[in-house]
Amino acid sequence: SDVKPLMQVAVYTCEDCGFEIYQEVTARIFMPLFECPSRRCVMNKSKGNVILQLRASKFLRFQEAKIQELAEHVPKGHIPRTMTVHLRGELTRKVCYSLPMELN
C-alpha cells in the first residue's frame, strides 16, 4: 500500500490557558483529547478549548504490505498462505513486489 503518516506524539494547545499537552500514541488508532488537563482549567472548572497542533506533532511513516508464501514451499493442491505486515519508519518502501524477503 501507499506510505501514510502514523501519529506518534499528538501536540495540543489549550486556547483558554495556553497549556501545551503532549499525548503519546501507542496504537494505530488514537482518541484525541477534548478537555484541557491543566491545573488552571481544572481549578476554573473549564474544559478548555483544546486544538490539535499538526505542525508540532510527530509522525512516523507507515505502510501495510501483504506477503505470500513462495510457490516452491507450498504443497501441490494447496493455496499459498498470506500475511499482512505493518512497516514503520525506515522499513517503509523496502518491500519490492515479487521479490523474495525474509521476516525475523
What is the per-residue pLDDT across 30-70, written as a single tens digit (0 to 9) for each?
A: 889 999 999 999 998 888 889 999 999 999 999 998 888 88
Domain limit, last residue, from 60, 77, 99: 60
Q: Which residues contact 3 (CB under 8 A, 6 or more apart)?
A: 61, 62, 63, 92, 93
Is pLDDT larger for residue 91 or for residue 62?
A: 62
Under the banding of pLDDT at 50, 70 and 90, the label for residue 22 is: very high
Q: What is the pLDDT of residue 48?
A: 84
Q: State how far the Cα of 23 lies from the Cα of 21, in Å rounded to an integer.
A: 6
Q: Is the pLDDT of residue 8 over 80?
A: yes
Report the C-alpha gap between 58 and 9 in whole angstroms.
5
Q: How far apart are the C-alpha atoms of 50 and 31, rounded to whole Å?
A: 13
Q: How many domains does the chain have?
A: 2
10 and 56 in a single domain? The answer is: yes
Claim to verify: residue 66 and residue 56 sit in the same structural domain: no
Q: Look over the chain and give the mean of its residue pLDDT values, rounded to a whole number.
A: 89
Averaged pLDDT, 6-31: 92
Q: Does some domain include residue 98?
A: no
Q: Are residues 69 and 36 in the same domain?
A: no
Q: How far apart are CA 9 and CA 37, in angstroms?
A: 17
pLDDT, residue 6, reads: 92
In this structure, the answer to whether residues 30 and 65 fall within a common structural domain is no
Residues 79 and 33 in one domain: no
